[in-house]
Amino acid sequence: MGDQPERKPPENGQDPLAQPTPPAEDGVDQDLHPTYWEAQLEAARRGSLAWGLAAFFIGYGGYYLCVLVLTAVRPERHGGFDPTTPPNTGPLLLLAFAPNVLLGLVPAVFSWWRGRGLRSDFGIVPKKRDFKVGVACGFAALIGSWLLTLVIIAVSGPPPETDLTRLMQGERTIWLFLFALFAFLGAPLTEELLMRGALWGALEHYRLPRYAILVLTALIFALIHQEVWRTPVLFVGGLAIGAARMITGRVATSMIAHATNNFLPALLLFAVAR
């Protein structure tokens, strides 16, 4: 379906991101939600994504296995870390995101094999409305995550230092730039294909209520990052990013929301380096 024409929202307190329900047409189900009608039409056009659960578990399983292998072969695991001859942080930065590629690759392969392609199954090609909804939800995710982070720091203190934060304390190099670029563009693409693409589509196939899908995917999104301190922050961000998917029914919208949420942190990663 093409883009719906822009219309002014009713002045009744309704969600400003929601377009009004389209007029009645022959052959179109008129039992449409006033806010989520666009997602309902996308789901009806898209058809079943029952294979999404297999894509999710294989994708995340491959990701986790890859993380375990890379962790086992880290240079500092053999003989310890020597500050006089530190490892080359450039490849290590890129390796940190290497397993992430599998998160999006497996759903893409399933879509080409069992489905009708990325454009039809996931709505990966953005429309004009996807940018408006995605940017708004992305800013909501960013602000909500930032406020919750401040609360957690006030209650429990600063976050623990990780391998990744130690690597980013080095020099500002092309490697760090590529790392930040992947955080801004690559991670939203791969993670959204897995979470709001394969998993969301499978849960939708089994007719879970839309708000249950929103909460469940946000919770899994937070947990698969395996960062205990940031789990509540990632959950809040996942709710806002998932709301973008819930409104339009297209993964392109949640990708834009995710990229909007990641833009400022990715910029700061590169900017604060020496």
Question: Does residue 212 belong to any structural domain of this protein?
Answer: yes
Q: Cα-flanking dihedrals φ and ψ of residue 175, to 5°?
A: -65, -45
Residue 23 lies in a domain: no
Rounded Cα–Cα distance for residues 216 and 195 (Å): 10
Buried b (16+ CB within 10 A) or exposed e, 23-42: eeeeeeeeebeebbbbbbbb
Indicate the number of domains in the chain.
1
d(CA 190, CA 255): 9
**Mean pLDDT in residue range 1-11:** 48
CB of 19 within 8 A of CB of 38?
yes
Provide CB contacts within 8 A for 271, sequence distance 6+.
none
Does residue 19 belong to any structural domain of this protein? no
Scanning the chain, the segments in alpha helix (DSSP H) are: 37-46, 52-72, 89-95, 100-114, 118-122, 128-156, 163-167, 174-181, 187-192, 200-205, 210-224, 231-248, 251-271
In a domain, residue 141? The reply is yes
Residue with tokens 């990632």: 234
pTM exceeds 0.85: no
Residue 2 lies in a domain: no
How far, in Å, CA of 57 to CA of 224, rounded?
Answer: 12
| pLDDT for residue 141 | 97
Q: Is the pLDDT of residue 90 over 80?
A: no
Structural domain contains residue 261: yes
pLDDT tens readout for residues 129-184: 999 999 999 999 999 999 999 999 999 988 887 666 665 666 677 777 888 888 89
Does a structural domain hold residue 135? yes
- Give the whole-angstrom CA distance, residue 19 versus residue 116: 28
User: At a CB cut-off of 8 Å and minimum separation 6, what does 15 contact?
Assistant: 9, 35
Instruction: List the domain range (segments joined by +) for residue 230.
Output: 46-77+87-271
